[in-house]
Structures are given as structure tokens and as C-alpha cells.
């Protein structure tokens, strides 16, 4: 019996599959925050769920809020920006996350009317509400007004995937989701791509693929066998 040849998958297709799987993993249901009233991204923006509307004009430049009403209040934007800059602060190589518009990116994400965004956006809005409430309880100030040391202390408690205090599990899940959004927003800007040396969309005479020693070290292969 002949052994079938392995099916070869284009690298770009394989990467697309991996990114799709990663995005799906972010939507796993998690416990709710105790003591914080639930709020959906749609209700926060004060708009009914009336559908998606028409496709955007891909050759037109849009400003935040042009496509759908934005969710964040002014206070939430301050808090969101403060948390962005804890995760990606300014350094010698690049500005902070909020300085390149990541706060706008997250506001757009939680405001989008698509089901996945509404579901995930609710967790972000609820997480920010919890963060303010917890900061006020601990330090007597909302998160954006707390000192840098106080903000770092609170983030340190919810940064681990499995926090030392099991009661912080929902907060830790929020922190992970928010960190993924901050990284996605920052590293898809020109500044972020330059920061990691990404040179996409540049024509190459030829592409030899990833270094063979790296592929071997990571245990990867260019083939997908069925």
C-alpha cells in the first residue's frame, strides 16, 4: 500500500490558522467580577444592537468613532491609557502604548457591534470597573490617580495566569486579555513594527524561509501531515 504524500501548507495559511486559534482562545468564558454591575459594550455606548451597517470605504481615512459610537467615557479612557502604559511604557527605543493610539484601538475594539467584540468588550469594560473599584478600596484613589507604585502593586497581583489569591482569577483573566489587546495595537503601528524589527510589506527578490537551526530548535516543520 502506497503511503500518501504529506500535504504541504503555505506558511501564510498556517500562520493564519494559528492566529485564528489564538483569537478563539481569548473568548473562553470566565467568572464574573464580584461587586461590579455587568455592562455590555453596546449598553455602555447607549446604542441598540441594530446590525453591522455597510462595509467601510477602504480608501477613506476614518477617525475613532466614525464607524460606530465609542464606548469609553473620559474617565475610562484615562484608566485605559494608564494601564496601557504600564504594559508598554516609553523607553529609549519607542514611545508608550497610549502615545501611539492604543487607547483608541481598544476603545474601537470594545465598541464594535460584532458578537465576539461585544462579548469580549464586556469583559474589558467590567475589568476596568473592577480595577477602579479595587484601587479605590486599597489606595483611596481610582486607578489613573493612584501613584505609579500603587498601580504596579495592583497589577503585580493580577498579572499571573494563576494569581496567589484565587478570588483574583477573573481579574487575572481580564489583565491577560487587555495585555493581548495592548500588544496587538502597539505592534501593528509603524512605531511598534520598527521596535521589533518587522520588515513586512517590503518586496524581496527571494525568500529562503526561517533559519534551519531555528526551525530545528523549535521542533517545527514546513509540512503539515494529515
Is 7 part of any domain? Answer: no
Give me the domain span that covers residue 196.
31-47+63-218
Is 152 part of any domain? Answer: yes
pTM (two decimals): 0.68
Is 225 part of any domain? Answer: no
Is 107 part of any domain? Answer: yes
Is 6 part of any domain? Answer: no
Is 149 part of any domain? Answer: yes
Q: CA separation (Å) from 171 to 36, 43, 160, 178, 210?
A: 12, 21, 10, 10, 38
Residues 26-85: pLDDT tens digits? 443 444 554 444 444 444 445 555 666 667 777 888 888 888 889 999 999 999 999 999
Which residues does 138 contact at the CB level (< 8 Å), separation at least 6? 150, 154
Residues 95-143: pLDDT tens digits? 999 999 999 999 999 999 889 999 999 999 999 999 999 999 999 999 9
Is 26 part of any domain? Answer: no
Number of domains in the chain: 1
Is 126 part of any domain? Answer: yes
Amino acid at each position: 500500500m502506497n503511503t500518501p504524500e504529506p500535504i504541504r501548507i503555505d506558511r501564510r495559511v498556517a500562520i493564519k490558522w494559528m492566529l485564528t486559534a489564538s483569537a478563539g482562545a481569548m473568548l473562553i468564558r470566565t467568572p464574573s467580577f464580584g461587586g461590579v454591575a455587568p455592562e455590555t459594550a453596546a449598553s455602555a455606548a447607549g446604542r441598540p444592537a441594530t446590525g453591522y451597517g455597510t462595509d467601510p470605504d477602504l480608501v477613506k481615512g476614518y477617525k475613532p468613532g466614525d464607524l460606530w459610537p465609542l464606548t469609553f467615557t473620559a474617565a475610562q479612557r484615562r484608566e485605559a491609557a494608564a494601564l496601557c502604559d504600564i504594559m508598554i511604557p516609553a523607553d529609549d527605543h519607542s514611545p508608550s502604548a497610549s502615545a501611539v493610539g492604543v487607547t483608541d484601538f481598544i476603545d474601537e475594539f470594545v465598541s464594535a457591534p460584532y458578537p465576539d467584540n461585544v462579548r469580549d468588550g464586556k469583559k474589558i469594560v467590567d475589568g476596568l470597573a473592577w480595577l477602579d473599584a479595587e484601587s479605590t478600596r486599597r489606595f483611596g484613589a481610582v486607578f489613573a490617580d493612584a501613584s505609579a507604585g500603587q498601580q504596579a502593586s495592583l497589577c503585580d497581583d493580577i498579572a499571573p495566569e494563576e494569581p496567589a489569591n484565587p478570588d483574583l482569577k477573573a481579574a487575572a483573566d481580564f489583565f491577560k486579555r487587555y495585555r493581548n489587546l495592548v500588544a496587538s495595537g502597539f505592534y501593528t503601528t509603524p512605531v511598534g513594527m520598527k521596535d521589533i524589527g518587522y520588515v513586512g510589506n517590503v518586496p524581496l527578490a527571494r525568500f529562503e524561509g526561517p533559519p534551519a537551526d531555528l526551525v530545528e530548535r523549535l521542533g517545527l516543520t514546513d509540512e503539515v501531515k494529515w
